[in-house]
Structure formats: structure tokens, C-alpha cells
């Protein structure tokens, strides 16, 4: 009976305490990562909102210009063109209407381009979230007792 196996002299209480401390540290790190991730998302949201506000402002300006210009252009330029080109008033108004329509389409086309252009919105948040999830996966998949 001289071949007695020696056991780890760590008491179950110290192992439980060590495990609790490590789990607490992991929980604290996860909470900090979540807080930083939410701050980054908020910054990206503000940035995306400013781009949408510019596009909205451009659309409103385009609409107001169109709404205020149509009556003036139809009446004034149509009559002037009819007099100048010696054509009927209807033909002068039609030509002026087509020109105003082209300007309106250009303004709304510019607005559409601002909305459709990829600007990398939320790219920083997405990249950081993926990196954090990979790091968390590596930490959680580590075998107990493996070297760091």
C-alpha cells in the first residue's frame, strides 16, 4: 500500500471560488464589450441619420422649387416663347412645361442618387461586432487548463 495516489490539495471551495472569479471576469468583459458595441452603433446611427437628413432636405427643396416654379414658368415663359417664336400659346406652354419637368426630374434624380449610393453605413459596428463575437467564441471554446 505504498503506492498511494496524491490528490490535488485544492479544496472544493477554492476551486468554486476560482471558477466564480473567472466567470465574473468573463461576464464583466462581455458587459463592457456590449457597452462599447452599443456606443459604436449609436455613432453609426447618428452618421446614417445625417445622410438621410441631407437627402430629405434636398427632396423638400426640389419639391418646393418645383411647386413654386411651375405656375410662374408656365405662364410667363410660355407666353414669352409663344410671342418670340410666333407659335401658339399652347405650344409655348407645352415647351416650358417640358423644360420644368426636366429640372424636376434632375432634382429628384439627384435625391435618389444620394439615397442609393452605398456609404458603408454601420460598417464599423458590423465589423466590430463580428470581431467581438469571434473573440468571445475563442474564449468560450478554450479547453480548461489549456495554455493562453
What does the pLDDT profile of the chain (148 residues) look like in tens digits?
Answer: 455 555 555 566 777 777 778 878 888 888 888 888 888 888 877 877 777 778 888 888 988 888 887 687 678 888 988 899 899 988 888 888 888 889 889 999 998 888 877 667 777 788 888 888 888 888 878 766 655 5
The domain segmentation of the chain, as residue ranges, is: 19-137
Write out the three cell numbers for 126. 458590423
* Cα(76)–Cα(85) distance, integer angstroms: 14
| Cα within 13 Å of Cα(19), Cβ side | 9
Residue with cell 503506492: 3
Amino acid at each position: 500500500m505504498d503506492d498511494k495516489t496524491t490528490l490535488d490539495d485544492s479544496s472544493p471551495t477554492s476551486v468554486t471560488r476560482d471558477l466564480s472569479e473567472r466567470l465574473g471576469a468573463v461576464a464583466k468583459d462581455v458587459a463592457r464589450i456590449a457597452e462599447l458595441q452599443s456606443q459604436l452603433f449609436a455613432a453609426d446611427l447618428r452618421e446614417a441619420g445625417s445622410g438621410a437628413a441631407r437627402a430629405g432636405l434636398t427632396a423638400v427643396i426640389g419639391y418646393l422649387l418645383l411647386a413654386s416654379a411651375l405656375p410662374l414658368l408656365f405662364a410667363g415663359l410660355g407666353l414669352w416663347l409663344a410671342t418670340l417664336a410666333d407659335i401658339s400659346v399652347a405650344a409655348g406652354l407645352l415647351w416650358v412645361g417640358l423644360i420644368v419637368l426636366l429640372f424636376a426630374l434632375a432634382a429628384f434624380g439627384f435625391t435618389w442618387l444620394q439615397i442609393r449610393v452605398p456609404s458603408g453605413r454601420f460598417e464599423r459596428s458590423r465589423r466590430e461586432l463580428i470581431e467581438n463575437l469571434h473573440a468571445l467564441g475563442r474564449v468560450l471554446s478554450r479547453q480548461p487548463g489549456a495554455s493562453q
